[in-house]
Amino acid sequence: MKKVSVLGTGSYIPSRVLTNEDLSKFIETTDEWIVSRTGIKERHIVEDENTCDLAYHSALKAIEAAGIDKDEIDLLIVATFTGDNAFPAVANVLQARLGLREIMAFDMNAECSGFAFALVVAEKMLRSLKMNKALLIGAETISKYTDWSDRNTCVLLGDGAGAVVLGEGSGEIIDTNCYSKGDLNKYLYGAGTPLKSPENNVGNTVGNIEMNGREVFKFATRAIPSSVKSILEENNLQSDDIDLYIFHQANLRIIEKAAKDLGIPMDKVFVNIEKYGNTSAASIAIALDEAVRSGKIKRGDKIVTVAFGAGFTWGTSLIEY
């Protein structure tokens, strides 16, 4: 069976920076309050761009880094819950914008775990179908769904996109696992378009993001260590065998507690949350690209990525880069 490798990475961040000081001008908060509770100093939000725009720019960088021709791409998946429109899919529109040939293109929504879930699907499809290369993107414009009067959520969120090209190469996606626990969905959700009828033809509206931070923290600090231990045990590895860990950038306190519970020193954990906040499905992909481009990940290194999000959902990958 052919190996599936990460051939190239890319990311794109909107230019507008929203600092903690900026937020303090319209909500009751301070830089100290936000940093002490989340580790976030600033985030980027779109002005005149949408999810497809962010995905497009990150895709170009990943294709260039992989050193391939775009006509080699057989599969395109965009992980997002913030599509430009209800339909068609971001991936469908992006296929045309990138000038790709007629291939399979679709979106996947597992919220912050979207990239992890999409990685599993893409890897399995490349192994089992007549496909050789896949373009996988996590892209979000969460600012569209943010309640900018709610300091418990708005301080956390940012926009961005990250991409990878998968195909046969020197490395390998060694193992993956993904899970869902739907009975906890009430702790983190975004209300959808309400039902309507000919007699009650109200306008289409979408709710803001609602979150129970305490429950999210409890879930995440259980799910991360458990899934990491599981994937290491299944592959006869110890935590020291991993060169770098990339956890979903949701909250620095979650990352630090998970690392402590796993006995992992923080110098083996990649962190960029202070610059971008929580970019949902884009988080792991952006961090992966930054780690590669900064030299923190080199060919042959073993890395573990862990995502978690609404649903609740979570997923882990073991990758030899």
Q: Which residues are catalytic?
A: 112, 248, 278
For 280, other C-beta atoms within 10 Å of its C-beta total 34
Q: Which residues does 13 contact at the CB level (< 8 Å), separation at least 6?
A: 44, 159, 160, 161, 276, 286
The verdict on whether omega for the bond into residue 88 sits within 30 degrees of 0, i.e. cis, is yes
Residue 63, φ and ψ in degrees, nearest 5: -65, -45
Six-digit token pair at 183? 């009975």
Looking only at the bridges linking them, the beta strands covering 134-140 and 188-190 are unpaired
- What whole-number distance in Å separates Cα of residue 1 and Cα of residue 218? 39
The distance between the two most distant Cα atoms of the chain, rounded to a whole number of Å, is 63
Q: Can you name the residues that pair with 105 across neighbouring β-strands?
A: 76
SS3 of residue 276 by DSSP: helix
- Are 126 and 166 within 8 A, CB to CB? yes
SS3 of residue 181 by DSSP: coil
Residue 222, φ and ψ in degrees, nearest 5: -90, -45
Six-digit token pair at 164? 């990878």
Six-digit token pair at 309? 């999000």
Q: Which residues does 229 contact at the CB level (< 8 Å), separation at least 6?
A: 262
For 98, other C-beta atoms within 10 Å of its C-beta total 17
